[in-house]
Amino acid sequence: MKVKLELYGASRDLSKKSFIEFNIEGKSSIKDLKKKIINYVDSNFKGNNNFKKIVEASAFCSEDNNIISDNYIINKDQKIGIIPPIGGG
Amino acid sequence: MLHTKIIDLTKESIRPEDAEEFIASSKFGASIVFYGTVRENNENKKVTGITYDAHNEMVVKSFKEIYNEVDEKLKIKSKAVFIEHVKGYVGLGEVSIIIAVACPHRAEAYTLSRYIIEEIKKRSPIWKKEHYQNEESEWLKGNPIQAN
């Protein structure tokens, strides 16, 4: 399955594009996706600790714009947004 | 009565007159217009501007949720609320957010205005990248979003 991870805020530094695509196994959870993103940081940014902290501190949101938990199961190709710590206004 | 919008600064500008017009009504005896603007200094760094990023759909959803819960939480039933936030680059002194509220009485207008901005800070997925005089820039740390 494919996950299109849409980037926001500080996570935009993870790619020149506004998203990153990940191939994941069936019945993967958000927790598993987080591990994939950390591996991506290891491979592409020499394990940059600041980037890893951003990923660890982030929430994730579904296509229907709801915050989803670490146990949320990804059971089809879908877009997921990464929501780093917020501070607007 | 509610108006919400994310203003993409590459396409349009944020207009205070829109806020004034939206909340104008003889039903209300108190109006407050809050402007968030970019200031020149943050943590001893000279700021030249801020780039705002937002998850548009979630931000608008959070604005609506905040508005809808006011009835129960603050017991303010009669009100007009206008909330617009920008997305994109904002220079010093320029406006990033407008919250305009109108209520029958001043006490509830002050309470409502303050409540909305504090809840936005906690709940709306908006991010700031500060730009400094030394040409560096950084995303501000922020707080993990609180799910409802």
pLDDT on residue B78: 95
Collect all residues of chain B within an 8 Å Cβ-Cβ radius of residue A84.
Answer: 127, 139, 142
pLDDT on residue B147: 58
Report the predicted TM-score, pTM, of the whole model to 2 decimal places.
0.93
Instruction: With a cut of 80, say whether residue A88 has pLDDT above it.
Output: no
Q: How far is CA B143 from CA A64, A85, A87, B109, B118, in A?
A: 23, 4, 6, 27, 13
Beta carbons of B33 and B103 less than 8 angstroms apart? no
Q: How far is CA B1 from CA B25, B56, B68, B70, B71, in A?
A: 11, 20, 10, 12, 12
* Closest residue by Cα to residue B118 from B139, B140, B133, B99: B99
- B17-44 tens-digit pLDDT: 999 999 999 999 999 999 999 999 999 9
Q: Specify the residue for token string 């707080």.
A: B143
Residues 24-83 of A with CB under 8 A from B: 57-59, 61, 65, 67, 81, 83
Q: What is the mean pLDDT of residues A12-39?
A: 95
Length of chain B: 148
- A30-58 tens-digit pLDDT: 999 999 999 999 999 998 999 999 999 99
Which candidate in B8, B141, B143 is best for mutational testing of the A interface (most A CBs within 10 A)?
A: B141
pLDDT on residue A61: 96
Q: What is the mean pLDDT of residues A6-15?
A: 97
Contact B143 A87 (CB under 8 A): yes
- B70-111 tens-digit pLDDT: 989 999 999 999 999 999 999 999 999 999 999 999 999 999
ipTM for the whole complex: 0.92
Contact B144 A12 (CB under 8 A): no
Both tokens of residue B91? 């220079």
- B39-52 tens-digit pLDDT: 999 999 999 999 99
